[in-house]
Chain A
């Protein structure tokens, strides 16, 4: 009985402190110190939110860099893995379909392009379904198309790719990746 009373009071106190006090304090701190990040790293264009730096959005057609495949149609409010096991026949089917679509899209701008030139991240789902990055290799593969469609020198496109490749944190942690939304926004600024 004594345990029950103690537990009940402790539950109320702990819920107040760790359930409300702690996140409220952290939110106050975060909003004050890092307001942009704390609100989801949203990107605005002409006063309107066009997306978040941290969420892939779908790009179709030849004018933009494309992102990686998603198991959830780039739903940033319903992330998911694809969960296809390594021997699942659907995995092979999806990879094949994605590779064929890329060959069709990029082939005209890259004579002699074969499936062996496609980097693996281009044809397979990310873990979150909203991976904002593509590998620098996949960005390079798309650069000729972008340069041609937008009438830009290839070197300019490559410079933009390098600029939005976030590299490793502190040059050491994680792996390089090119942020597709930022890159496409920069393209729009460079050539409409």
Chain B
């Protein structure tokens, strides 16, 4: 690790706070004021709401809100599936690609509607421009906005007293899209194009190389999609190798901007939460807990990758940093990113439910690769997905105040609300459902013939590939130990993981918001456990480690730990 590399990482953290804080305040304004930015935008908003026949003034209770989310998502799934299947007969298909096979379309549909972007397809040679633009890119916006809307509703629930409603889904959805995602995406797109990311409707370019070969170069409206795939914690690439491909991520600067875009909105949402519930210090503590886990991930992954793998050391090639190279485990990594920028990205993308990668995870060292694996398993709550990260963190916060309540022998409270049996049950459901599903699905995939057929690297690493696949899909991340292959079994099984992994916690969070909205606030007393101090940070990180961390540990010993010992 060089001072330079560490400098880049520290600057990243600094930029995250400096940009995230004002963005968070802006988002609080967007969700909480009738006219966030000017009459003109407000009248466009009203026009849209009239067009879709939504009544802006009719607030919904959590059940009605959740029902609208479900109907909207199911209907959008059908459209997305249809576009992929029929792309061969539709327009905007300059490279004459055929319809996507049914099991791949199904998985991809689930993957994009749930804000996951797990890719069983190879971008540039499977999806037509129409599928990429009208199908996948739309979901990059919409699935992100759904998560953000739900978070806004849950946070409102926490902030309100004795209220029956949590907001209007259509208003929240529209505002997430138009006031937050769209402007940010436009800014990031322009920066990326300036760095060399293509943005064109022309098809492949053909080059005649210096030594007489022919090289086909895939292009397309790449930059606009990459911008939103990072901002919306989606992660699905235009190209198969995702953000490792120079056309998605050409320079050190583009890499920094994309990496910032990955965590920007989730980080800002913590500050938004602080503003909306009027608990600024508490929000900082939540941010601190997230940041601590993030930093820990980098501190484990980076030295492991820089140290390199046993194979490279045995071969005797030079893996020492310095004298014109970054060295380390360069397997499936790019020269312009080196170790520091690749390891930081790996941690950021797995903390957020982003899943885009700028280097191959399958080729990481056992220790380095275990970091994203564990990060996913924590339920994508370390910053996490847009919206889903913070509402996922609420489950752990409730468990933490519950544990604290048990210790002092009082009814637990959070932000002035009594936490009772119903909230604990919902928090436990939200926090434990997905990890349980990951373990069960991995177990099934590892003992059945159809499950084993997907494995690319045999032996212990194959187990890790399988675990990662269900970990990633269930937690709606989308990154992969990419050797793990698509079969009709793995694609269909994955589809189940994707939908349940998204909507069970989402509904649990909404129910939690609804339940808290109905409560009265109780005044702070001497016995109240303070959630705005460092003790709370320690407790919160501890609760995350004890619940998700302990659940993944046995599986971890079967995968990366054994491999690390062998290696």
Contact = CB atoms under 8 A, between A and B. Distances in A.
Interface of A: 2-11, 13-15, 18-20, 22-23, 25-27, 29-31, 33-34, 37-42, 48-55, 57-61, 64, 68, 74-88, 91-92, 95-96, 99, 114-140, 166, 168-170, 172-177, 181, 184-185, 188
A99 B54 CA distance: 65
A115 B213 CA distance: 30
17 contacts: A15-B138, A23-B137, A26-B186, A38-B199, A41-B198, A57-B215, A76-B216, A80-B240, A80-B482, A85-B465, A120-B317, A124-B330, A127-B241, A133-B335, A135-B324, A174-B252, A174-B341
B338 interface: yes
Interface in B323-363: 323-338, 340-341, 357-360, 362-363
B360 A127 contact: yes
Interface stretch (B217-225, B503-511, B544-552): B217-225
Interface string B180-191: 001001100110
Given A11-B75, A68-B335, A120-B319, 13 more contacts: A18-B177, A19-B137, A19-B138, A22-B141, A23-B225, A27-B221, A29-B190, A33-B194, A38-B199, A50-B208, A86-B363, A127-B334, A174-B336
B199 A31 contact: yes
Contacts of A123: 315, 317
Given A26-B223, A86-B364, A77 B461 contact: no
Contacts of A14: 138, 141-142, 177
A144 B303 CA distance: 33
Contacts of A10: 52, 72, 170, 173
A120 B363 CA distance: 14
A149 to B, nearest CB: 15
B338 A19 contact: no
Contact of A174 (B185, B205, B255, B567): B255
A51 to B, nearest CB: 4
A22 B67 CA distance: 29
Contacts of B40: none
B200 interface: yes
Contact of B460 (A78, A84, A87): A87
B217 A77 contact: yes
Interface stretch (B18-26, B285-293, B306-314, B524-532): B306-314
A59 B155 CA distance: 57
A81 B482 contact: yes
A157 to B, nearest CB: 14
Contact of B461 (A49, A85, A95, A96): A85
Contact of A6 (B76, B170, B330, B362): B170
Contacts of A168: 252
B318 A173 contact: no
B296 interface: no
A95 to B, nearest CB: 5
A137 B202 CA distance: 37
A50 B75 contact: no
A81 B332 CA distance: 6
Most buried by A among B72, B198, B200: B198
Query: How many residues of B sit at the interface, in one of the four size bands?
Result: 35 or more
B255 A131 contact: no
A170 B312 contact: no
Interface stretch (B28-36, B242-250, B434-442, B486-494): B242-250
B317 A51 contact: no
Most buried by B among A15, A60, A125, A185: A15
B409 interface: no
Interface string B241-277: 1001111001111111000000000000000000000
Given A166-B251, A173-B256, A126 B333 contact: yes
B448 interface: no
B51 A9 contact: yes
A31 B340 CA distance: 33
